[in-house]
């Protein structure tokens, strides 16, 4: 497994002043034993996301890293990225001590992040356009802060499966859900919004004050009523209620540009 540190020097002296960590987990494919390349599109897509998180957390003593899996595929029962991501968490703890770890995963990386969320160091986990098949476990999420965000135009992974996972996970922990109108799987369309959600979740999970529209905080407020926040595409769109199965209700807001 390869690891890119986005914030902080990549040696043990970087542990001085570190009070938390964010690990960004990239996507992949269902089945492949091919090694992950630094130029893999799923890896490259996480660079601006991780940099946005770094910028949003600057001066707070939080280290941001992007581990790279050994192979591209999930590979059935092997769940190949899971052991790599768990090793990345162990390495973070070995380097920086008992700091809280926030996981943010995209697509297959979200599936891996949720699988390892039971690690003692993990306090929060977010899935962006996640791949969460119906049989995915949720018990390991107990006591963790959870965010799930999915785009309505995603034809690679299923928003319906994400909302079903959220409903199951709510049995063991608090879960916030956000529907990104017109968002597609790569998160390139409305990229600034996806990045902002990752930054806001990181700040909230690490106990930092909100900086911006606070859409994630609003989603957690809505979570108590089993609603998910629907982020509209234009500022002039007004709040409205709409149905989005299997979550009972959604509240639509227009994000800042």
Is residue 101, in this structure, part of any structural domain at all?
Answer: yes
Is residue 116, in this structure, part of any structural domain at all?
Answer: yes
What is the reported pTM? 0.87
Q: How many domains does the chain fold into? A: 1
Q: What distance in Å separates the CA atoms of residue 212 and residue 216, rounded to the nearest whole number? A: 10
Is residue 167, in this structure, part of any structural domain at all?
Answer: yes
Question: For residues 24, 53, 17 and 143, what is the CA-based torsion angle, rounded to 10 degrees?
Answer: -60
Q: Indicate the burial class of 23 (C-beta count within 10 angstroms; 0-12, 13-18, 19 or more).
A: buried
* Residue among 256, 179, 181, 246 nearest 219 (CA): 179
Is residue 244, in this structure, part of any structural domain at all?
Answer: no
Q: Tokens 């690990």 label which residue?
A: 23
Low-confidence ranges of the chain (pLDDT < 50): 6-13, 235-257
Angle at 109 between CA 186 and CA 59, to 5 degrees: 85
Is residue 237, in this structure, part of any structural domain at all?
Answer: no
Q: Buried b / exposed e across 103-142, counting CB within 10 Å, b at 16+?
A: bbbbbbbbbbbbbbbbbebbbbbbbbbbbbeeebebebbe
Is residue 222, in this structure, part of any structural domain at all?
Answer: no
Is residue 194, in this structure, part of any structural domain at all?
Answer: yes
Q: What is the DSSP string of 47-59?
A: HHHHHHHHHHTTT
N residues, the chain: 257
Q: Identify the domain containing residue 133 by its residue range.
A: 2-171+184-211
- Tell me what pLDDT residue 231 has: 87
Cβ proximity of 228 and 250 under 8 Å: yes
CATH number, domain at 114? 3.40.50.1820
């Amino acid at each position: 497994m390869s690891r890119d540190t986005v914030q902080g020097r990549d040696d043990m002296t970087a542990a001085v002043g570190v009070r938390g960590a964010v690990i960004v987990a990239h996507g992949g494919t269902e089945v492949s034993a091919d090694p992950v390349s630094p130029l893999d599109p799923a890896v490259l897509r996480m660079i601006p996301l991780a940099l946005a998180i770094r910028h949003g957390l600057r001066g707070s003593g939080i280290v941001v890293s992007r581990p790279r899996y050994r192979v591209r595929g999930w590979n059935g029962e092997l769940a190949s990225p899971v052991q790599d991501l768990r090793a990345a968490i162990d390495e973070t703890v070995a380097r920086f001590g008992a700091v809280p770890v926030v996981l943010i995963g995209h697509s297959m990386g979200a599936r891996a992040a949720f699988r390892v969320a039971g690690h003692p160091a993990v306090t929060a986990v977010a899935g962006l356009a996640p791949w969460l098949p119906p049989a995915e476990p949720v018990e390991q999420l107990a006591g963790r802060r959870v965010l799930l965000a999915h785009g309505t135009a995603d034809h690679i992974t299923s928003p319906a499966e994400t909302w079903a996972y959220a409903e199951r996970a709510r049995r063991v922990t608090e879960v916030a859900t956000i529907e990104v109108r017109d968002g597609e799987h790569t998160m390139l369309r409305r990229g600034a919004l996806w990045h902002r959600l990752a930054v806001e979740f990181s700040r909230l999970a690490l106990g930092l004050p909100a900086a911006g529209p606070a859409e994630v905080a609003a989603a957690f407020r809505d979570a108590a009523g089993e609603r998910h926040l629907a982020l509209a595409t234009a500022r002039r769109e007004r709040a409205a209620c709409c149905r989005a199965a299997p979550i009972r209700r959604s509240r639509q807001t227009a994000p800042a540009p």
